[in-house]
Amino acid sequence: MSGALQQAPTVFVVDDDPDIRSSIALLMKSVRLRTQTFAAADEFLAAYLPDQPGCLLLDVRMPGMSGLGLQTLLAERGAEVPIVFLSGHGDIPMALRAVRAGALDFLEKPFRDQTLIDAVRVALAEDEARRRTRRERDAVTALVASMSPREAEIAGFVADGLSSPEIARKLRLSPRTVEMHRARAMRRLGVESVAELTRLILAARALAASTAAPPRPPRRSRRGARG
C-alpha cells in the first residue's frame, strides 16, 4: 500500500500486478491526483473507510477475492465508491455484468494513459456528486423528520396543492386545526411561506426517489495501447 489514508480525494488502485500499480500511481501523480495502491481486495477492505472521497480502479482477476467479488461486497456494505474496472482478460459479458452491478466504467489492458485519466476524472466527479446528493438528502431528511406525523401529513398535502379546507375535509379536521399544524410544520422546517414549504417537501421526495433510480446504461469496454 502507498500513501496515507486522508480525506482528500484519492484514487484507490487494487491490482495484484506491482508494475500496474506503480505505473498507475506515477500516472496519477503526473496529474496531481493522490493514490493508494493495494495488491489484494482484503488489503483494500482493511484500510478503506466509506467516508473517504475518491474512486476505485479495480482489477477483475486477482488471487483470493476477485474484483467482481469486491464490488459485490462493497455494495452489500453500502459503500458507493465509483468503480472503474481494469482487466487484461475482459470481455463484453464481464463488462456488462460489472456495469450492471454499478461499475462506472470498464477498461481493457493495455489502455491509453489519457483514457485512464479521463475515466478517473469522471469517477471523481461522480463521487463528489453522490456525496453532495447525500449531504442534501441528509439535511432535508433531518428537517422532515423533525415534524410530527400529523404535521408531515399536512405538509405533504400542502405540497400537493390542497387548500386548508380540502385537507380538513380529507382528514376530518377543522380548517383551523389544519392551519395550526401547517404553521408548526413551517416553523420546524424553517420556512416562511407555503411556496418554500412546497419546494422543501418536493425536494425531499425527489431525493428519496433518487436512491431508487435505475442504473445507467452499460458502457462498452474500452481499450488501446498505453502512451
Instruction: State which residues form the domain around 195.
Output: 146-210
> Minimal CA–CA distance to 13: which of 22, 129, 5, 144?
22
Residue 2 lies in a domain: no
169 and 99 both lie in a single domain? no
The Cα angle at residue 57 between residues 56 and 63, in degrees rounded to 5: 110
In a domain, 102, yes or no: yes
Residues in the chain: 227
Question: For the segment 125-177, what is each residue's pLDDT rounded down to a tens digit?
Answer: 999 998 888 888 888 889 989 999 999 999 999 999 999 999 999 999 999 99
Same domain, 112 and 166: no
Q: Quick one: 119 and 173 in the same domain?
A: no
Instruction: Mark whether 128 and 151 lie in a shared domain.
Output: no
Tally the domains of the chain: 2
CA 43 to chain centre: 22
pTM confidence score: 0.70
60 and 94 fall within a common domain: yes
pLDDT tens readout for residues 16-43: 999 999 999 999 999 999 999 999 999 9
- Whether 100 and 204 map to the same domain: the answer is no
Q: 101 and 187: one domain? A: no
